[in-house]
């Protein structure tokens, strides 16, 4: 039986844990080879992921680097071109929560870090990968946003600012590629059983939330060459028929 991502090459950021790890494994199970990006301090977790992906019969390339290193991002695009000549799937998952605080209490360095990791890194990666995605017969971009967008929720201003920005980058990219095979979409996960969620909402019953493996199925659908969604913001809870807690 042919797997729906057979022969595809996917780059996943934040691949060492949580949603990113689950997505990398789900894509590999459907036949994709994986380029797994995460922070250098996550090397051990990346190596464990590498073992699991290879056990599935797929190739995995580990790329540990700091997403604030724009030059490294540019080199990544060049390296992918030299080795594979194209890229089929980019999953922009890596992000930080930042301080949950009144806007007036956020330190400028913390605000800048939210921009650097949640927004600028995704822009730099999309810029670096753009020629590679255009070489694919069905380039797919999937950016992880937040269900909190548009709610102007008190104390979440820094995080929501960054997610609103990256969401609009993804949607703009969709409109800029209407005449080719690239499709770019956004996933709003909602509450998922991750370490970031536990940090944001301490005391919540994590067992009551969907696991990263549950949402990974949506990423597989959007990564498929058969996907016809483009320029859409897809709420996982709606897609899965779930009720928000």
Q: Which residues are catalytic?
A: 159
| Per-position DSSP letters for 130-188, written without gaps between them | HHHHHHSSS-EEEEE--TTTTS--TT-HHHHHHHHHHHHHHHHHHHHTTTSS-EEEEEE
Angle at 5 between CA 39 and CA 35, to 5 degrees: 20
Cα–Cα distance for residue pair 188/75, rounded to 1 Å? 29
Cα–Cα distance for residue pair 199/201, rounded to 1 Å? 6
Name the one residue in this structure whose structure tokens are 């060459």. Answer: 225
> E strand or H helix at 29, and its extent?
helix 18-29
Cα–Cα distance for residue pair 130/24, rounded to 1 Å? 20
**Tokens, residue 218:** 């949506």
Nearest Cα residue to 119 out of 168, 77, 157 = 168
End-to-end CA distance of the chain: 38
């Amino acid at each position: 039986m042919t797997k729906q991502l057979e022969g595809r090459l996917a780059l996943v950021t934040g691949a060492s844990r949580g949603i990113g790890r689950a997505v990398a494994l789900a894509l590999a199970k459907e036949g994709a080879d994986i380029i797994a990006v995460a922070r250098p301090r996550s090397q051990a977790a990346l190596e464990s992921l590498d073992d699991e992906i290879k056990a599935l019969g797929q190739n995995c390339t580990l790329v540990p680097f700091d997403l604030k290193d724009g030059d490294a991002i540019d080199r990544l695009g060049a390296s992918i071109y030299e080795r594979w000549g194209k890229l089929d799937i980019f999953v922009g998952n890596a992000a930080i929560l930042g301080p949950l605080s009144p806007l007036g209490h956020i330190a400028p360095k913390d605000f800048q870090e939210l921009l650097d990791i949640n927004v600028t890194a995704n822009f730099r990666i999309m810029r670096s990968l753009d020629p590679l995605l255009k070489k694919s017969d069905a380039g797919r971009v999937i950016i992880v946003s937040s269900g909190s967008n548009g709610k102007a929720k008190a104390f979440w201003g820094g995080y929501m600012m960054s997610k609103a920005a990256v969401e609009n980058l993804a949607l703009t990219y969709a409109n800029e590629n209407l005449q080719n095979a690239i499709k770019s979409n956004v996933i709003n996960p909602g509450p998922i059983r991750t370490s970031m969620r536990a940090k944001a909402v301490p005391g919540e019953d994590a067992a009551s939330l969907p696991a990263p493996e549950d949402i990974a199925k949506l990423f597989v659908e959007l990564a498929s060459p058969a996907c016809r969604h483009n320029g859409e913001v897809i709420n996982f809870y709606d897609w899965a028929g779930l009720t928000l807690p």
